[in-house]
Amino acid sequence: MVRTYVVTGSASGIGRATCERLEADGHRVIDVDLHDATIVADLAKPAGRRTLVEEVTVASGGVVDAVIANAGTQASPELCVRVNHFGAVATAEGLRPLLAESAAPRVVVTASSSVLNGHTPELVDACLAGEEERAVAIALVGHELLAYPSTKRALARWVRREAVRPEWAGAGIALNAVAPGIVETPLLAPLLGDPAMVELMDAAVPMPLGGRCQPEHVAEVIAFLAAPTTERIAGQVLFVDGGADAVLRGDDVWGPPV
């Protein structure tokens, strides 16, 4: 069965590997990025988010089988807020009507294993409340270093909160996330060239199974979550981190229901 997939952040890294993985399986991929993509859209801006929805609607013919909201950045605290959280949420929500036309709709967003690290609670709360400008203001005043993990944490929580609601699970749309550990992508290339930074990253994200990821490792899990044969999985944040989650959180992560 040939399916139509939308992949944001498609020009490099995990997004490019995901496009290649899906295309190798014979699927149609509508790729989205700031450059070198079928659809060029800036997800940091409302206009870019509208462009995404409008152009995907035309390109897809009105039916999308899966959305991979992968676009992300560490370029600045403001862009972390606008792209990592609000851009991803706008992508998923904006394309939901097209997903509703699919027989087996799936959404996979790219979070991060950094959700396990330090974060700014008020920034996470502002993101989850949908208050973009307040979230930007918080990120820019004293919380610059925690903007990335905070926005990824907010995104992961958004997935768990929304996935079981009528608009998603109730409509048959499976919404999940992947949380990669350290992935050797162009985004991290400057840091991976610094031995001191490599030592720091490996200590913060210990990956006993195989070490750091390649983009293809994450793409394989994304393809699994987005497949029509993968059923009854909703609201999950699947760590693709070589075991870092288990190292950092230990074996007892199931508390009482809330």
Q: Is 148 a catalytic residue?
A: yes
Residue 196 dihedral angles phi and psi, to the nearest 5°: -65, -40
| Paired residues of 32 in beta bridges | 8, 39
Pairing of strands 66-69, 39-40: unpaired
DSSP 82: I
List the one residue out of 99, 105, 112, 90 whose CA is nearest residue 237. 112
Please give the single-letter amino acid code of residue 186.
Answer: P
The residue type of 155 is L
Radius of gyration (C-alpha) of the chain in whole angstroms? 17
How many angstroms separate the CA atoms of 168 and 80, rounded?
A: 25
In whole angstroms, what is the distance from residue 258 CA to residue 254 CA? 11
Q: Which of 5, 148, 158, 239 is catalytic?
A: 148
Q: Which two tokens stand for residue 57?
A: 């609607």
The residues assigned a catalytic role are 148
